[in-house]
Amino acid sequence: MKLVRFGGVGQERPGILDKDGHIRDLSAHVKDISGEVLSEEGLQRIGAIDPLSLPRMPDGVRLGAPVATPSKFVAIGLNYADHAAETGAAIPKEPIIFLKAVTSMSGPHDPVEKPRDSTKLDWEVELGLIIGKRAKYVEEADALSHVAGYCLANDVSERNFQIEREGQWTKGKSHDTFGPLGPWLVTKDEIADPQNLSMWLDVNGERQQTGTTATMIFKIPKIIAYVSRFMTLLPGDVIVTGTPPGVGSGKKPQRFLNVGDVVTLGVEGLGTQRQQIVAA
């Protein structure tokens, strides 16, 4: 299934795509696409509904992030060897965990704000995963049973805030609109191998990133098991899993985003996004 949230900012309703790609309104059956409906049982109940029996929404309706109010927005840094190399960083010996503010989440086609005082606004196409079952001290062999589905993500980053100023990465990763997710939550049964998905990102129509999830240093089961040692993952939580090479900070000379630029990106099977950069 492909689950969506549609409507105005702060007024999103739950939906599902029918076989022709049209959005159907699920709000008569569930309150939202949130942790309480992302269990195996919850997804089975949604899957038993004939999408054609649901009201069809107009084409072009705004899409929000495909999951509502997660307790955590977790990210993994430097998880592709070639990306680590382009930044001059050593290959991590264990996953690098940081957090993005939940308030950074936005829809897949919403504008991305360039923060005040920003000088190094950057892009990162990533595979996101959404937790469906509580995870604490999970073993790798059981880790994928805790996944409800996958989504496309752009881990927007302000490198000056992230790297060149005091403190941790969080403040360079958490501005409003720095976490576009979607367009859909694709349930895991539709993704045969999440470790073999092509991915790409363009800026103003020029290809910047080309990669595949096959080159992750730490695979999805390892990421879930590792994160669950340090924090309990709850249904609806989001983990974005790292980016392939081609980020602006890794280019020679470096290249960063400015107001008016347009970023488009995609991951195989998970749809595409489009964002225009605007002033905060």
Q: Which pLDDT value is given to residue 90?
A: 84
Q: Locate the DSSP E strands across 155-194.
A: 157-158, 179-180, 185-187
Regarding pTM above 0.95, the answer is yes
Q: Which pLDDT value is given to residue 112?
A: 98
Q: Which of 158, 131, 128 is nearest to 43 (CA)?
A: 131
Domain at 67-279: CATH code: 3.90.850.10
Dig out the tokens for 74 from the structure.
């977790």
Residue 147, helix vs strand vs coil: strand
Q: Which pLDDT value is given to residue 82?
A: 79
Q: Which pLDDT value is given to residue 157?
A: 98
Per residue in 34-75, pLDDT (tens digit) is 999 999 999 999 999 999 999 999 999 999 999 998 999 999
Sheet of strand 272-279: strand arrangement:
112-114, 272-279, 262-267, 198-203, 206-212
Per residue in 215-251, pLDDT (tens digit) is 999 999 999 999 999 999 999 999 999 999 999 999 9
* Cβ-contact 125, 197 below 8 angstroms: no
- Calpha distance 75→213 (Å, rounded): 15
Q: Which pLDDT value is given to residue 81?
A: 84
CA atoms within 13 A on the CB side of 266: 7
Q: Which pLDDT value is given to residue 84?
A: 79
pLDDT < 50: residue spans in the chain:
none
Total residue length of the chain:
280
Q: Is the dihedral of CA 159, 163, 169, 174 positive or negative?
A: negative
